[in-house]
Amino acid sequence: MEHEHEHEFILEIPEFQHLTYEVEGNIALVTLRRPEALNALSREVLEELAQVAEVIHQDPEARVAIFTGEGRAFAAGADLKEIAALKDPFMAREYALLGQQVFAEIAALPIPTIAAIHGYALGGGLELALACDLRVAAKGAKLGLPEVGLGLIPGFGGTQRLPRLIGRGRALDLIFTGRHVEAEEALQLGLVNRVGEDALEEAKRLAQSILKNAPIALALAKESVVRGEGLDLAEALEIEADLFGYAAATEDMKEGVRAFLEKRAPEFKGE
């Protein structure tokens, strides 16, 4: 038998109402599909994002994930109709915790993740993009955290992930003013990694350049950065050394070094 060592593995993909999931050439593409509300993140959308994070986790074909949105926006924030219906501080706190939890699951994915931003990424929409490892914006895209203009504060991670990414002063500029920054300024701020004519095409190019590298090394590099973030330098460096050790024990490391010495491109197997 050809596949006698392989387990029969069936990936169960739920029927999503507000997003689609597809994988092509090891790139998982998650597309928010609620364009009539500029992909506003309702509870249902958030729950589907949590489910799709689980699918990505389980899908051996998914080696880089791109998040994008259908229509005029990446996502224009949490759903303001739902926010208007929050009756008391406890309900609102639960709402923030729900968004935080879903975005924490996305941030914890073991593969590189990219937000491909066109149109608007505002409030919770920008916070979703901040939960990704990398952000690519289309020229003309508008990014911001407008919550204080609504009497709110960013509640899906924005007050924490934005200052960690671009620094406290620049983050508070955006949070206090609520202003929209365009793609070029976002690039200067370090809020996005790249700007292109078409965000999705640019994100796919970025994904391709990541996919050339060893999968386990990518996962370990991400783990080292993420785990080190909250620690002091000495502790974080210990983690780095441990994970370097794991990387050095992979078959792909042998292949990578052998390929270099033989002056050819490596063929990584994720082993």
Q: Which residues bind ligand A1D88 (CB under 6 A)?
A: 37-38, 40, 76-81, 96, 99, 120, 122-124, 146-147, 150, 152, 154-156
Alpha helices, H only, the chain: 43-58, 80-84, 89-107, 124-131, 158-166, 168-177, 183-189, 199-211, 215-228, 233-248, 251-261
Residue 96, helix vs strand vs coil: helix
Q: Which is nearer to ligand A1D88, 34 or 204 (CB)?
A: 34
User: Of all residues in this chain, which one has the CB nearest to ligand A1D88 in the complex?
Assistant: 123
Closest listed residue to residue 218, CA positions, set 186, 187, 177, 253: 253
3-state helix, strand, coil in the chain (%, to 5): 50, 15, 35
* Helices and strands: H and E segment counts in the chain: 11, 9
Q: Which is nearer to ligand A1D88, 103 or 268 (CB)?
A: 103
Q: Which is nearer to ligand A1D88, 157 or 266 (CB)?
A: 157
Q: State the amino acid at position 163 in one-letter form.
A: P
Question: Measured between alpha carbons, how far is 14 from 28 in angstroms, rounded to an integer?
Answer: 15
Cross-strand pairs, 19: 32
Q: Which is nearer to ligand A1D88, 186 or 206 (CB)?
A: 186
CB of 153 to ligand A1D88, least distance (A): 8
Task: State the catalytic residues.
Answer: 127, 147
Residues ≥6 apart with Cβ < 8 Å to 200: 66, 68, 116, 118
Per this entry, what is the length of the chain?
A: 271
